Amino acid sequence: MNFIETLLSEKLKDRNPMLDVYGSDRKVLQIACQDFTNYLKIHWDLVGKEANECEIVERLEKFFSENPNELEEFLTIWTGIWFNKWKERVKLLIGNDNSKRWDRVSKVLSNAEPLWRKLSNRQEMQEVVTSTLIKNGEICGTSILAENLLKMELGEKNKDFNKEEVQVVNVVNNALRKARELARSKGPLIYVKIDKGYYQPSQ
């Protein structure tokens, strides 16, 4: 487990002692770590720079050794905001709950996948949209939301542009506009589909 996971796992368990961040709830920890890293990239102006994740860990370790109390306080506040956002933004779909809406989104995302894989600069595109989400106050599921916004644009338009550059500009501009709207919205944005049997009590 890396340094960021170690820092955040304790804070998440403080927020909800029932979380099994090393077991069944590991995905919660992984998303929190990705969101925290994305947040620090913006805060420390490291977006688009190579080896930025190594620099983040180095800065955090230095911060931890020089100002442990200040870092502790910052992590408590950040994790509190993030966890509240998690409860607002993530919805579990049990069985066929909301399946029609989910199926439509899944279809668009599936259509976009081959196009998305072909784009050589998809990481840079995702970072730009992630930055916009964070700058507009969204800190939960930022990488997932950014990628899905871009894929929704690709999947819904499904246009054959003559030049990839033209397609990229259009897709990114539309995704940025939607990211700003999304960050101002309320309610769930990330849907996790789970099997109905998961919630049935054992006999």
Nearest to 63 by CA among 105, 3, 118: 3
Q: pTM, whole model, 2 decimals?
A: 0.87
- For the chain, the structural domain boundaries read 3-90, 92-199
Between residues 104 and 47, the one the model is more confident about: 47
Residue 61: per-residue pLDDT: 94
Q: How far apart are CA 42 and CA 96, in angstroms?
A: 38
Q: How far apart are CA 54 and CA 18, in angstroms?
A: 31
User: Cβ distance 168 to 121 under 8 Å?
Assistant: yes
Widest CA span in the chain:
60
Residue 99: per-residue pLDDT: 58
* Residue count (the chain): 203
Angle at which helices 99-118 and 142-157 cross, to 10°: 80
Confidence band of 100 (pLDDT split at 50, 70, 90): low
